[in-house]
Amino acid sequence: MKTIIVTLSLAFTSLFLNAQTEVETTSETKSITVTVPVQSEEGNVVFGLYDETSFMKKPLVGLEGEIKDGKATVTFEDIQPGTYAILLFHDKNGNKQMDFESNGMPTEPYGASNNVMSMGPPLWSDTKFEVTNEPVKLEVRM
């Protein structure tokens, strides 16, 4: 009887130790690489990485991608697993902000993760994606 109890105890201890190891390995940071095809070589593309609380406000991380061979690519490094969204725009005039007409319509091309294009600003529920234990690669259209 003691042998059975000791064996079961060791088996459960082994399971808990393995479960702890898995949790530790999934907390590693990952990267998100975003590529966007661009029609014009002028200016740069400004990329923003958002979580739900920062969405459509200030990005968690902002990067600027140089346009080469008709596309701009950036990589967000050291990203914790979680739910994120990418918003971007083609900053043709180099002022590092999205420009709008007086009626509120954007004058510069823009895009969002999951390639959601709707009338009005993008929604978190449409643009969110998961970062898990693998690097993420996205292509966003404008």
| Per-residue confidence band for 8, with pLDDT thresholds at 50, 70 and 90 | very low
* Cα distance between residue 113 and residue 86, in whole Å: 5
Mean pLDDT of 125-140: 96
The answer, yes or no, to whether residue 138 has pLDDT greater than 60, is yes
Give the chain's mean pLDDT: 84
Q: Which domains does the chain have, with CATH numbers?
A: 30-139 (2.60.40)
Contacts of 130 (CB under 8 A, 6+ apart): 81, 82, 83
> pLDDT for 42-91, tens place per residue?
999 999 999 999 999 999 999 999 999 999 999 999 999 999 999 999 99
| Per-residue confidence band for 17, with pLDDT thresholds at 50, 70 and 90 | very low
The percentage of the chain sitting over the pLDDT mark of 90, rounded to a whole number, equals: 73
| Per-residue confidence band for 27, with pLDDT thresholds at 50, 70 and 90 | low
Positive or negative, the CA dihedral 109, 32, 68, 44 is positive
* Cα distance between residue 74 and residue 66, in whole Å: 9
**Integer angstrom CA distances of residue 25 from 15, 62, 97, 120, 130:** 16, 27, 38, 40, 17
